[in-house]
Amino acid sequence: MLKLHDVIKTYAGKSEVTALAGINLTVTAGEMVAIMGPSGSGKSTLLNLLGGLDVPTSGQVVVGGKDLARESEKGRSLFRRSKVSYIFQAYHLMPTLKVSQNVALPLHLAGVPAVEITRKVAQVLKEVGLEGRANHLPDELSGGERQRVAIARALVTDAPLLLADEPTGNLDTARGEEILNLLRAIHRERGTTIVIVTHDHNAASVCERLIKLRDGRVEGDGSPVGGGR
Ligand SMILES: Nc1ncnc2c1ncn2[C@@H]1O[C@H](COP(=O)(O)OP(=O)(O)O)[C@@H](O)[C@H]1O
Ligand SMILES: [Mg+2]
pLDDT in tens, 7-65: 999 999 899 999 999 999 999 999 999 999 999 999 999 999 999 999 999 999 999 89
Q: Which of 45, 88, 195 to mutate to test the pocket of ligand 1 (most atoms within 8 A of CB)?
A: 45
Indicate if ligand 1 lies below 6 Å from the C-beta of 147. no
Q: Is 112 in the pocket of ligand 1 (CB under 6 A)?
A: no
Q: Is the pLDDT of residue 226 over 80?
A: no
Whose CA is closest to atom 16 on ligand 1?
Answer: 42
Atom nearest to 38 CA in ligand 1: 22
Ligand 1 atom with the smallest distance to the CA of 46 is 17
Please state, in angstroms and rounded to a whole number, the distance separating the CA atoms of residues 205 and 49: 24
DSSP type of residue 171 = S
Residue 200's pLDDT band, with cuts at 50, 70 and 90, is confident
Confidence bin at 214 (pLDDT 50/70/90): very high
Residue 168 pLDDT exceeds 90: yes
What pTM, to 2 d.p., does this model score? 0.94
Do 14 and 71 touch, CB atoms closer than 8 A?
A: no
Q: What's the CA-to-centroid distance between 100 and ligand 1, angstroms?
A: 34
Question: How far apart (Å, rounded) are the C-alpha atoms in residues 96 and 42?
Answer: 33
Inform me whether the pLDDT recorded for 225 exceeds 80: no
Confidence of residue 173 (pLDDT cuts 50, 70, 90): very high
Q: Is residue 30 in contact with ligand 1, taking CB distance under 6 Å?
A: no
Q: What are phi and psi of 134, to 5 degrees?
A: -55, -35
Q: What are phi and psi of 68, to 5 degrees?
A: -65, -25
